[in-house]
Amino acid sequence: MTAVADLLDRHGTTYAEQAGIRLRDTPAPLYRLLVLTQLCAIRIRADTAVAAARELFAAELRTPRAMADSTWQHRVDLLGRAHYVRYDESTATALGEGAELVRRRWRGDLRRLREEAGRDPAAIGRLLREVPRIGPVGADVFRREAQLVWPELRPFFDRRALTAAAGLGLPHSPDALAALVPGDDLARLSAALVRSALS
């Protein structure tokens, strides 16, 4: 088994998959990815952020309308159930404000963000940073996962993934890494590199 195949076998689950998101280029899964991104965008364990996302989605908070219509306390309680502590109150606020922004600015559909950005990866990143709680790292998380369904983002490997690739003796430029797997596996490879760095 090659090093890349072994890496994908051991660590190749994307964070969206782990959170139960079947990523497609449709409004609801893209919004759920945004929620996961908001949860991951602070210094908290990825597994805790994923658990929090699963709690929110199990409680039917899967669309901007449902999130915006939920109470702040309900969101705090759901985050607490996932042991997403210390940041539960501020995150509950950010989730509500983010849902309102997505509803107002992009009419509940992040494909409109994509079109507003002209499908330019850097512009997509800039628009994502307008969502509460999402900074440069969060924008990277979203683009890393969304490259599965938004091909213009490919190949996307953030700094952590590239550093991990170098440490594993793999090429450490996006184009060279992209040559190692089919395009549909780029999100998996990028997530696998990040996971290997964290393990």
108-125 confidence digits (pLDDT tens): 999 999 999 999 999 999
**Average pLDDT estimate for 9-20:** 96
- Omega into 155 within 30° of 0, i.e. cis? yes
pLDDT at 42 (0 to 100) = 87
pLDDT at 86 (0 to 100) = 86
Q: Is the pLDDT of residue 43 over 90?
A: no
Q: Is the pLDDT of residue 1 over 70?
A: no
Q: Is the pLDDT of residue 186 over 60?
A: yes
- Find all residues with CB under 8 Å of 107, minimum gap 6, and list them: none
Number of Cβ atoms within 10 Å of the Cβ of 164 = 24
**Among 125, 184, 126, 118, CA closest to 155:** 184
- Within 13 Å and on the Cβ side, how many CA atoms surround 87? 17
Percent of the chain that is helix, strand, coil (3-state, to 5)? 65, 0, 35
Q: Rounded to two decimals, what is the model's pTM?
A: 0.96
pLDDT band at 76 (very low <50, low <70, confident <90, very high): very high
Give CA–CA dist 82/52, Å, rounded.
Answer: 5
